[in-house]
Chain A
Amino acid sequence: MTNIVQTLNRLKPKTLHFLQIGAFPLTIAVLGLAVVVSITFGAVDIHPATVVDSIFAFDADNTQHLIIQTLRLPRALTAMLTGAALGVAGAIMQGLTRNPLADPGLLGIQAGAVLAVVSGVYLFHIDTLPVYALFAFMGGALTALAVYALGSLGRSGATPFKLSIAGAAITSFLSSLTTAILMFNQRSLEEVRFWLAGSVAGREMSLVLQAAPFLVGGLILALALGRQITTLSLGEDVARGLGQNVGRLKFLAAASIVLLAGSAVALAGPIGFVGLIIPHVVRMFVGVDYRWVLPYSAILGATFLILSDLAGRILVRPLEMPVGIMTAALGGPMFIYLARRKVK
């Protein structure tokens, strides 16, 4: 993998640029295909033409149209939005901390968001998605700060190893607290359980629409930072030397991470490893320029989560597996590979 990246970096800028632009229609097409397959596949197989019909000529008496509009389409959209958000959040985290092991799940942001939401349900009886999201943002931000502070302890500073381990420890701590709160209060268990497993199933369209502004806002903010993050990924001193306001950039990048990861959690619950895998795969093809890495991370993240969800439905048919389990199964080996090869 390193070799591919090196080869790419040695390519003439023109050739690399051709690849960067040329891959765009291809990846979009694959994403479109994944969405269509995801919508048509299920307990009832639906013809793609019916999917188009249900959108443009909705017929409330048609069962298939109802299935598409209330179940399949929200599900595909949830997977798409969550995947894109997690992919981009992971990419920014990796660029910002120059840590190949960074991921919103691994560094505890998702666990913090979950704990904040569960505490909110338990203490303040919050019950709408925008408020969930607000709590998720706060929890995610606080956890990110805590993990970064813990991971930076000692002389060697915030090494990838220490950050990852602090993240894992904090995740385990916060999840334990979450479980304890859920056990104290059966009511919150009922309300929260539906997304706690990390799944894109059973989200209503209204929820997706409520989460969308946060997600899209986070995505736009992130994509706007692409150029600066490329500079920052060369090192803080270099970025500063090039006249960049590093403090402000870090703040904005952190804000976009929290927006993306927090709203992803509010919508779909904690889903790990997407933000770890996707940026690495993307960098294999488009190099290390974050102006390209970020949009591709969004597209591939969306595709990846839709396909993982699809695999979770096909593998144990007629049962279903939460998509978080699928991503962990695929992400674990990737994590091990990176811990072995990419981290000194």
Chain B
Amino acid sequence: MKATLHIHSITRRSWRVSLKNISRLYLVLGSLLFATFITFVLQLWLGEYPIAPFDVLNTLLSRQVTDKNYHFVVMELRLPRAIVAWMVGMALGASGAIIQGLTRNPLASPDLTGVSAGASAGAVTMFVFFPGAPDVLLPLAAFGGGIFTAWLLYLFAWRNRSTAGSDSPLRLILIGIGLSAVLSAFTSFALTFSEIWNAQRAMIWLTGTVYATGWDDVNALFPWLVVGLPLTLLGARDLNVLNLGDNVAQGLGLPLHTVRAFLLLLAVALAGVTVTVAGIMGFVGLIAPHLARRLVGVMHEKLIPTSALMGGFLLILADLIGRTIRPPTEIPAGIVISIVGVPFFLYLLWKREKA
């Protein structure tokens, strides 16, 4: 009881401390937004068809520009694509921060746990076997697939009878690898039934890219993010308490199961909706929370928004690199992120081993 009270006071104190440090948070968030803005401008400016920043501005403001193509290139191709990349990155960054907090596992992320593969399988199932269904249902199907996978993950990785206290971080990732293998196989299986989905399109689903996304996709993401991202802040403080351990959290009167279920649904919903637009975008959900933690520390009410903005920035940057490294070839953003993300993941593994 004494210990509980003590910890309770710690959490309250750190909440007060965090209030003191809040200006640092704003500084970080501001810098991230600024960096994102710069990347945004570059995204509209550069490409196979470069448009000078001034012309971009004029086009955005619907002023007269010399070239009639500008409007199409900026408003219909680059702007929605940049917005989609930003939104997808934000959703994944927030989702990754929640999943890492929830599993207390620094190696976890929506893609590494198989949740993204599950969402993809769900969306593809809907797409292939119920072709008449309205597009609004697609994110719901992805959500369902993600939740189903999370349930399997819970079943296999935690409810382990043979070894006590077995929520080993590495086991979780291994089970995720196994689940991803089965689910990707299922996705490929489903895709063989659909004729309109050629190999190229199937690859997009499996590698992650914002290529050829448009305003439709912005509209599809919008409601989920507008509802989902603010809700993450609601769960942030509970996540802090959860990280003190189940017993402590329960002692502090936290309804463990409700809180966990709420956070899990939120994380899966955010990751799931990105899959319907951009496929399985790996490693954003892993990297963003780690970078964010370096900047603002471990308190989730600061970590989650920072991680979201970081994810958005990273994904726009990755897409910019993939688009401009060797035009006219476009490297999917997911590939760019993986090439950077895997060494980062291995670094985390190494650091964990050293500790």
B107, B162, B184, B335: the one contacting A179 at CB < 8 Å is B335
- Is A321 within 8 A of B178, CB to CB? no
Q: State which of B175, B329, B339, B346 has its C-beta within 8 Å of the C-beta of A339.
A: B175
| Contacting pair B353 A176 (CB below 8 A) | no
Nearest opposing residue in chain B for A170, CB measure: B342
A82-90, A155-163, A220-228, A252-260 - the one binding chain B: A155-163
Q: What residues on A are CB-neighbors of B199 within 8 Å? A: 193
Contacts between the two chains (Cβ within 8 Å), count = 124
What is the size category of the interface that chain B forms with chain A?
35 or more
Q: Which of B160, B181, B199 neighbours the largest number of chain A CB atoms within 10 Å of its CB?
A: B181
How far apart are the CA atoms of A183 and B339 in the complex, in Å?
Answer: 15
B185 near A164: Cβ-Cβ < 8 Å: no
Q: Give the CA-CA distance A184 to B182 in the complex, in Å.
A: 30
- Tell me which residues across on chain B come within 8 A of A165, comparing CB atoms: 107, 170, 173-174, 177, 349
User: Are the C-beta atoms of B189 and A321 separated by less than 8 Å?
Assistant: yes
Chain B residues whose C-beta falls within 8 Å of the C-beta of A14 in the assembled complex: none
Chain B residues within an 8 Å CB radius of A290 = none
A145-161 at interface with B (beta carbon < 8 Å): 150, 153-156, 161
**Inter-subunit contact A176/B162 (CB<8 Å):** no
Q: A173 touching B349 by the CB < 8 A rule?
A: no
Are B156 and A336 within 8 A (Cβ)? yes
Within 8 A of A (CB), among B63-105: none
Decide: B331 and A161 in contact? CB cutoff 8 A: no
Whether B331 and A329, one on each chain, are in contact in the complex, defined by CB atoms closer than 8 angstroms, is no
**A292 at the binding interface (Cβ < 8 Å):** no
A329 touches B185 (CB 8 A): yes
Q: Is A296 an interface residue (CB 8 A)?
A: no
Say which residue of B189, B326, B342, B350 sits within 8 Å of A172 (CB atoms). B342
CB distance B188 to A321 under 8 Å? yes
Q: Smallest CB–CB gap between B343 and chain A, Å? A: 7
Main secondary structure of the interface of A (DSSP, over half): helix
Q: Which residue of A lies closest to B177 (CB)?
A: A168
Q: Are the CB atoms of A169 and B181 closer together than 8 Å?
A: no
Instruction: Contacts A340-B162, A343-B171 given; indicate if A153 touches B350 (C-beta within 8 A).
Output: yes
Q: What is the bound-complex CA distance between A115 and B234, given in angstroms?
A: 45
Q: Give the residues from 92 to 141 in chain B that come closer than 8 angstroms, CB to CB, to chain A.
A: 107
- B335–A176 CB distance below 8 A: yes
Contacts of A329 in B (CB 8 A): 182, 185-186, 189
Docked Cα-Cα span, A162 to B203, in Å, equals: 29
Q: Are B339 and A180 in contact (CB-based, < 8 A)?
A: yes
Judged by a CB distance under 8 angstroms, whether A335 is at the interface is yes
A182 to B180, CA, bound (A): 23
A contact residues around B173 at 8 Å (CB) = 165, 168
Q: Which residues of A contact B243 (CB under 8 A)?
A: none
A101 to B162, CA, bound (A): 18
Q: Quick check: is A272 within 8 A (CB to CB) of the other chain?
A: yes
Chain A residues 277 to 332 lying within 8 A of chain B, measured CB to CB, are 315-316, 319-322, 325-326, 328-329, 331-332
Interface status of A10 (Cβ within 8 A of chain B): no
Across the interface, do B339 and A177 meet the contact criterion of CB distance under 8 Å? yes
Count, chain A residues at interface, CB 8 A: 46
Q: Are A154 and B354 in contact (CB under 8 A)?
A: yes
Contact of B349 among A162, A177, A183 (CB under 8 A): A162
B window 173-232: CB within 8 A of A: 173-175, 177-186, 188-189, 192-193, 199, 203, 207
Q: Are A331 and B342 within 8 A (Cβ)?
A: no
A contact residues around B145 at 8 Å (CB): none
Tell yes or no: B330 within 8 A of A by CB.
Answer: yes
Interface presence of A166 (CB below 8 A): yes
Is A344 located at the chain interface by the 8 A CB criterion? yes
Q: Which of B185, B330, B332, B342 has the most CB of A within 10 A?
A: B185
Instruction: Find the B residue at minimum CB distance from A182.
Output: B203
Residue B282 interfacial (CB < 8 Å): yes
Judged by a CB distance under 8 angstroms, whether B15 is at the interface is no
B329 near A183 with CB under 8 A, answer yes
| Complex: chain B residue closest to A328, CB-CB | B185
Taking the complex as formed, is A137 at the interface, i.e. its CB lies under 8 A from any CB of chain B?
no
Residue of A nearest to B190 (CB): A316
**Which of B175, B178, B179 neighbours the largest number of chain A CB atoms within 10 Å of its CB?**
B178
Q: Do residues A161 and B181 form an inter-chain contact, with CB atoms below 8 A? A: no
Bound Cα distance A177, B340 (Å): 11
Q: Is B345 an interface residue (CB 8 A)?
A: yes
> Which chain A residue has the least Cβ–Cβ distance from B173?
A165
Contact partners of B193 in chain A: CB under 8 A: 316, 319
A341 at the interface (CB under 8 A from B): yes
Q: How far is the CA of A315 from the CA of B190 in the complex (A)?
A: 11
A333 beta carbon closer than 8 Å to chain B: yes
Within 8 Å by CB of B163, from A322, A332, A344, lies A344
| CB-based contact B184/A328 at 8 Å | yes
Contacts A162-B353, A329-B182, A340-B162 given: A183-B330 contact, CB under 8 Å? yes
A135 within 8 A of B: no
Given that A155-B353, A333-B178 are contacting pairs, would A316 and B207 also be in contact in the complex, using a CB cutoff of 8 Å? Answer: no
Central interface residue in B173, B174, B329, B334, by most chain A CB within 10 Å:
B174
- Residues of B bordering A, CB below 8 Å: 107, 156-157, 160, 162-163, 168, 170-171, 173-175, 177-186, 188-189, 192-193, 199, 203, 207, 282, 326, 329-332, 334-335, 338-339, 342-343, 345-346, 349-350, 353-354
Provide a sorted-by-A list of 9 A–B residue pairs whose CB atoms are within 8 angstroms: A150-B350, A154-B350, A165-B173, A165-B174, A180-B331, A331-B181, A335-B178, A340-B156, A341-B162
| Contacts beyond the supplied A166-B349, A343-B174: 5 A-B pairs with Cβ under 8 Å | A165-B173, A331-B181, A332-B179, A339-B175, A340-B156
